[in-house]
Copies of this chain bind each other. A is one copy, B any other.
Amino acid sequence: MTDKSTILAPGSTIGILGGGQLGRMLALAAAKLGLKSHIYCPDPQSPAFDVTPFKTVAAYDDVEALKAFAAQVDVVTYEFENVPAATAEVLAGIKPLRPGANALAVSQDRLLEKGFLASKNIPVAPYRAVHSLDELHQAVAEHGLPAVLKTTRLGYDGKGQRVLRAPGDAEAAFAELAPHPLVLEGFVPFEKEISVVVARGTDGTVRAFDAAENVHRHHILHTSTVPADIPPGVEKHAAMLAKVIVVALDYVGVLGVEFFVVPGERPTLLVNEIAPRVHNSGHWTEAVCLTDQFEQHIRAIAGWPLGDPRRMADVVMQNLVGDEVEMVPNGLDGDTQPHLYGKAEARPGRKMGHINRVVRG
């Protein structure tokens, strides 16, 4: 029942699976459009519960709770790609699920994702499925080292992966990550990582935000800088590839695409991964775009016309991780827009908020 013609009237309710900061920011964007949000999350302390009175606290496999939730909302979306397939099926049987179940299936599994991208002639890093230690050794022999062994599912922020630098690393890495299905990715000598957040509406309109140049620290996004320091042709190519992806998926909503920029006579792009949701590297849009990624996602899934993704200024987004959040409020200066997620405890490695700094001419 993914009826693409559905246009939500103001006053309708967006159902959001997941109560973290992305769900919270989606709910805030929905409110600006006169839409209500109903948050579904198993954690009673979810940050998103502070920005709407409509909530369900239940497990993602609680079918009765899912059915009751779906009955109370007009469209269902999610803040994370690891929504179980059975959960998606229950919800999609009752209300439009946007983005659709196919986007979830593809992005949940690195092998499926790479296979999908390759089938659309979108370049990805060399990879090979690994079902046994023998296969791992073969893959290492084939791709050379260094290489990265990853679980095909449920990895994020550097979790579920090991770098292999010497042949002797293979056995320990395999022991740590198996029995999960694995994939070995050839190491890409990339110069930098960029990302593009792209949106597609129910009417098929596609709009991409400008590319961001991303820097990570300890496997967690540290900064996104816009504009990215890449040739204009490379930026255009990245936007084009992102658009190909959402069209191929018959996608509705916002999707993030991470690219490696590989140096050469002309720099080339490889897709690292895609995320069928609003993306950390798109938080800068809130500061300098008339329509930010959160509003764009809500507009798309509500069947509304997409907004204008153009940028009014240069900007740097910086994540506030762990106790970095203590810079708010006293470390704020004039050119800084803070955004905190309302999390009570600033644990190490936990994303607590972000700041956008506008760079004025």
Contacts and interface: CB of A to CB of B under 8 A. Distances in A.
Interface of A: 7-8, 10-11, 24, 28, 31-36, 49-53, 55, 287-288, 290-291, 295, 299, 302-308, 310, 312-313, 325, 328-330, 332-342, 344, 353, 356, 358, 360
A34 B353 contact: yes
A287 B287 CA distance: 9
Given A312-B312, A342-B11, A34 B328 contact: yes
Contacts of A52: 50-53
A334 B358 contact: no
B290 A305 contact: no
Given A305-B330, A307-B337, A356 B290 contact: yes
Given A308-B335, A310-B360, 8 more contacts: A24-B31, A34-B340, A34-B341, A51-B52, A53-B53, A290-B336, A302-B329, A312-B313
Contacts of A342: 10-11, 31, 34-36
A334 B312 contact: no
Contacts of A288: 312
Contacts of A35: 342
Nearest to A55: B53
A5 to B, nearest CB: 13
B34 A337 contact: no
Nearest to A287: B290
Nearest to A9: B329
A313 B288 CA distance: 10
Contacts of A337: 290-291, 295, 307
Residue from A36, A288, A334 with most neighbouring chain B CB atoms (10 Å): A334
Contacts of A335: 290, 308
B28 A31 contact: yes
A342 B8 CA distance: 13
A239 B306 CA distance: 36
Contact of A50 (B36, B50, B332): B36
A30 to B, nearest CB: 10
21 contacts: A7-B330, A10-B329, A10-B340, A10-B342, A10-B353, A28-B31, A28-B32, A28-B51, A32-B339, A32-B340, A33-B329, A34-B328, A36-B50, A50-B52, A53-B55, A290-B336, A290-B356, A291-B337, A303-B329, A304-B332, A308-B334
Contacts of A49: 53
A271 to B, nearest CB: 27
Residue from A7, A10, A344 with most neighbouring chain B CB atoms (10 Å): A10
A33 B291 CA distance: 19
B340 A33 contact: yes
Contacts of A51: 28, 31, 51-52
A53 B11 CA distance: 17
Residue from A8, A290, A291, A295 with most neighbouring chain B CB atoms (10 Å): A290
Contact of A31 (B50, B291, B334): B50
